[in-house]
Amino acid sequence: MNSRLAAVGAKLDAPLLITNLTNVLYLTGFESSNAALLVEPGGEATLYTDFRYIESARAIDGVHVELLKRAIISDLAGKLPSSVQFEADALPYAQWQALAEHSGDLVPARGIVEGVRAIKDEDEVAKLRHACEVADRGLDALTREQWTGRTERELAWRLRELLHEAGADELSFDSIVASGPNGALPHAHPTDRIVERGTLVTVDWGVRIDGYYSDCTRAYSTGDLPDRLREAYDVCLEAQQRACDNIKAGLTGVQADALARDPITDAGFGAEFGHGLGHGVGLEVHETPRLSTESTDTLEVGQAVTIEPGIYIEGLGGVRIEDLGIVRADGVELLTALPKTLTEVS
C-alpha cells in the first residue's frame, strides 16, 4: 500500500468509491479515461477498469484489480459493500441512479482525496518548480521580441511555440494575452486586436510537465501609461507583494485574501478587484485550497497556491500579477521568478 492510499484510508469510516479520474491517478499512478477506485478504511484498494486498460492496471502495485464492462458504474451496481461513500462532486446523477438501484446506502462525501492532494510532497514540489521554470523561460523569450504592431492572437500563438521549445508537454490552458481595454477582462481570450503603444498587456500562462501544472501572470507596458493605469499597476504590485510576504500556514483563505484586498480597497480600487486572491495548483490548474472572501479553507504546510490580485478598469485596461508558491510554516516559497517591477516591451 502506498502512502497516499494510507492517508486517505486513515480518514475513512466507510469505503469510498472514487470516480474522479485525477484522484484515481493521484492515488495509484493509473491514468485512464475509464476507471474507478474503491478505497477501504485503512487504505486497501480495488481498481476497476475495462478491457482496453486492464493490462496497464495490472501493472499497478499495491491495489487489487478487477475487469469490468465498459460501463463501469453500471457493472459495479450490486457488487459494492452495503454502505459506500461516493464523490458527490464527481459522480453524475445518472450514474448515481445506476448504483442506487442495486446498492445499499450511498453516502455523499466531499474533499477527502482533495484534502490529501492539497499537501504536496517534495517530489511534487520539484515537478511544480520545473513547470514554473519552463513557463518563465518561454515568456522571457517572448519579451525579447516585438509586441507592438502584432495581434494578441499572434503573440499567444508565438508564446505557445516558445513554451514548447522550452520543454513544455502542453499548456496549462489557452494563454491569455489581453491588451488595452481587453485587459479589463480577467479571462479575456486573445483577439485580432493589435497591441498599441502606451498601454498594459496582461499575459496569463502556464505549462504542464510530468502531470503537474504551473500558473503565472505578468503585465507589461508598451510605453508611457495613462496615470490611472500606472496607479493601478503600482497598487496591484504593492498588494501582491504584501500577500507574498505574509502568507503562511495557519492563515485562513479569507485572511490570506485580505492581505491583498485591503490595500487595493484602501487605494480606491476595491470594486475593480472582483475575484479571489488565489487557488491551489497541482495535477489540476484549480485545486484546494481557495484564497477568497468566501473560502472555508485554512492554509497548511505543503500546499501550492497562486497569489494573483488584479485591478480591471472597464474601457481602459487592467493588471493582474500572479505567482505560484508553496506554503511553508513561516511564509511562502515562490516558484515563479520573472520580475514584477513594471517592464516595458517594444
How large is the average pLDDT for residues 128-149? 98
Q: What pLDDT sits at residue 78?
A: 87
The string of pLDDT tens digits covering residues 263-280 is 999 999 999 999 999 999
For position 42, what pLDDT does the model report?
Answer: 97
Cis? peptide before 289, omega within 30° of 0: yes
| Bridge partner residues of 327 (DSSP) | 332
Residue 104: pLDDT band with limits 50, 70, 90: confident
Task: Give strand ranges (E) for the chain.
Answer: 16-18, 35-39, 45-49, 64-67, 83-87, 105-109, 170-171, 176-179, 200-205, 207-209, 212-213, 216-221, 278-280, 287-291, 304-307, 310-313, 317-320, 323-328, 331-334
The model's confidence at residue 97, banded by pLDDT at 50, 70 and 90, is very high
Contacts within 8 Å (CB) and 24+ apart, 229-232: 229/199, 229/200, 229/313, 229/316, 229/317, 229/319, 230/342, 231/267, 232/269, 232/272, 232/311, 232/313, 232/317, 232/318, 232/319
pLDDT of residue 259: 99
* Least confident interval from 34-43, 101-110, 125-134, 268-277: 101-110
Name, in order, each residue with C-beta under 8 angstroms of 189's C-beta and a sequence gap of 6 or more.
174, 176
Q: What is the pLDDT of residue 89?
A: 96
pLDDT digits (tens, 9 = 90+) for 199-239: 999 999 999 999 999 999 999 999 999 999 999 999 999 99
pLDDT for 41 beyond 90: yes
pLDDT-derived band at 15 (thresholds 50, 70, 90) equals very high
**CA angle, 15 as apex, 10 and 18 as ends, to 5°?**
95
**Residue 233 pLDDT:** 98
pLDDT at 333 > cutoff 80: yes
Domains of the chain are 3-117 (3.40.350.10), 122-334 (3.90.230.10)
Confidence of residue 101 (pLDDT cuts 50, 70, 90): confident
Query: What's the pLDDT at 177?
Result: 99
- Predicted pLDDT of residue 1: 72
Give the model's pLDDT for residue 103. Answer: 77
pLDDT at residue number 145: 98
Which is nearest to 35 in space by CA: 22, 17, 48? 48
Give the residue-averaged pLDDT of 144-170. Answer: 98
Q: Give pLDDT, residue 49.
A: 98
pTM above 0.75, yes or no: yes
Arithmetic mean of pLDDT, 83-107: 93
